[in-house]
Amino acid sequence: MEWPWKQNPWFETVLEAQRRAKKRLPPSVYAALVAGSERGTTPRDNTGALAELEFAPHVAGHQPERDLSTSVLGIPISLPVLISPTGVQAVHPDGEVAVARAAAARGTIMGLSSFASKPVEEVVAANENTFFQLYWTGSRDDMIRRMDRARAAGAKALIATLDWSFSIGRDWGSPQIPDKMDLQAMIRFAPEGIVRPGWLLEWAKHGIPDLTVPNLQPPDGPAPTFFGAYGEWMQTPPPSWDDVRWLREEWGGRFLLKGITRVDDAKRAVDIGADAISVSNHGGNNLDTTPATIRCLGPIADSVGDQLEVLLDGGVRRGGDVAKALALGARAVMIGRAYLWGLAANGQTGVENVLDLLRMGLDSAVLGLGHSSIDELSPADLWIPQEFSRTLGADAGAGEIAPLGSATEDTTKG
Ligand SMILES: Cc1cc2nc3c(=O)[nH]c(=O)nc-3n(C[C@H](O)[C@H](O)[C@H](O)COP(=O)(O)O)c2cc1C
């Protein structure tokens, strides 16, 4: 018989999953997920701006059946929500494999970070619709090798994340994360583990988290540690648009450029042959006071939405947020923290729980707004405050976009 006072593992909102994650995870691991940089203005605006948009629901004439399905880069998905790549360690022993299984079970796409804790081969085995994410790090040969490996594993698209600018200080303090779990680190982190016995027990069944990044493993050595890989990235000269074009051509397959907030950059993404972009500010972990992505979405979708697929990520915590992003021109959204909270709260089932909540919330919005399909969502479904949108980098018209750096040779080390 179950304990009568045992908590129902199902949670009814993403914020409840976050509360459970906070209770379950060691404080350092939880703080690494909350993230955000400097004042934390951007992550606050990501969620706050979504709440500023208001729905205009109907009272009757609702549709009895509603279609929430769509496709992204040619892959049919049962709801317009994808897993955004997150390079996070030690949340759960099954890590990205559990997330990939949950995404497969709910009929959607898994985005796998190159800084993830599980190898791309295992993740693709768990979800055949996996997109592999790469940063501009290492030499061109390193990048070619990593792309070859992801392609051979069966990754269906490449996500190039290019917005990172190493702005990492946080006014409320960064957690101390060890480079590897050696004896010294275990002694230092023992007090955090002792106060989180559930998390500790789960890991005790699987062994200690090794904090390495297997997808960046060189052919002739062990996988680097997270901070070893981060060091390589910091030393890599940043890419020009010619470099990005090279990356796109070298990959050859479907290519999603993540991190766009400006209209002119969205046009450049079209120019280099990207198939999709994500309007993203890295969940507010990057350059603080970048506006909420939902504010940047409309102008970008209006400008390039007929030339490539426009996705959005940042601040999505409920199905209504998904409906708002679609109404302003996104084809689908990607989620980060929402599924991380679910994973921490209840493993694979917790991620499924999050995807179910987003599906139910989206369905409620489509029902209330009187539609039979997500394709019918439009700005007319919303009340949009004046001066809500941010049109960044829109001075230049199409064809007048300066290339922004014109390196034609390999500027990277190696
Ligand atoms: C802890 C954490 C780690 C992340 N790591 C990566 C990463 O490795 N690669 C990447 O492209 N984006 C990364 N992101 C950004 C997410 O893919 C996504 O853009 C962001 O989380 C969306 O905002 P949300 O968390 O409010 O949903 C990370 C985000 C968080 C919170």
- Token pair, residue 58, equals 């109907």
**Is 213's C-beta closer than 6 angstroms to any atom of ligand 1?**
no
Give the ligand 1 atom nearest the CA of 259: 19
pLDDT score for 176: 76
Q: What region does 399 belong to: left with phi over 0, alpha with psi -120 to 50, or beta? A: left
Q: Which residue has the higher pLDDT, 203 or 295?
A: 295
Q: What is the pTM of this model?
A: 0.94
pLDDT per residue over 216-275, tens digit each? Answer: 999 999 999 998 999 999 999 999 999 999 999 999 999 999 999 999 999 999 999 999
384 CA from centroid of ligand 1 (Å) = 27
Residue 121 is classified by DSSP as H
Contacts of 201 (CB under 8 A, 6+ apart): none
Give the ligand 1 atom nearest the CA of 87: 8
pLDDT per residue over 156-205, tens digit each? Answer: 999 999 999 998 789 988 877 777 777 777 777 777 777 788 888 888 88
40 CA from centroid of ligand 1 (Å) = 15
> Which has the closest alpha carbon to 79: 378, 374, 376?
374
Helix axes 27-34, 14-24, angle to 10 degrees: 150
Q: Which residue has the higher pLDDT, 163 or 402?
A: 163
pLDDT score for 177: 74
Q: By mean pLDDT, which of 6-10, 79-83, 84-88, 140-144 is the weakest? A: 6-10
- % helix, strand, coil for the chain, step of 5: 45, 15, 45
**Is 157's C-beta closer than 6 angstroms to any atom of ligand 1?**
no
pLDDT score for 412: 40
Whether 282 is a known active-site residue: answer yes
Give the ligand 1 atom nearest the CA of 280: 19
Which residues, listed in sequence order, are joined to residue 382 by a DSSP beta bridge? 55
Which residue is catalytic, options 58, 92, 282, 371?
Answer: 282
> Which has the closest alpha carbon to 176: 195, 186, 189?
189
Which residues, listed in sequence order, are joined to residue 55 by a DSSP beta bridge? 382
> Which has the closest alpha carbon to 409: 139, 105, 69, 136?
139
**Is 33's C-beta closer than 6 angstroms to any atom of ligand 1?**
yes
346 CA from centroid of ligand 1 (Å) = 20
Average pLDDT, the chain: 92
User: If you search the block for the tokens 């040969």, which residue do you land on?
Assistant: 141
Q: Quick one: how far is CA 205 from the chain centroid?
A: 29
- Token pair, residue 248, equals 């796109």
- State the pLDDT confidence band at 410, using cuts at 50, 70 and 90: very low
Average pLDDT over residues 63-92: 95
pLDDT score for 213: 95
pLDDT score for 12: 97
pLDDT per residue over 6-58, tens digit each? Answer: 889 999 999 999 999 999 999 989 998 998 899 999 999 999 999 999 999 99
Residues in the chain: 414
pLDDT per residue over 307-328, tens digit each? Answer: 999 999 999 999 999 999 999 9
Give the ligand 1 atom nearest the CA of 282: 19
320 CA from centroid of ligand 1 (Å) = 20
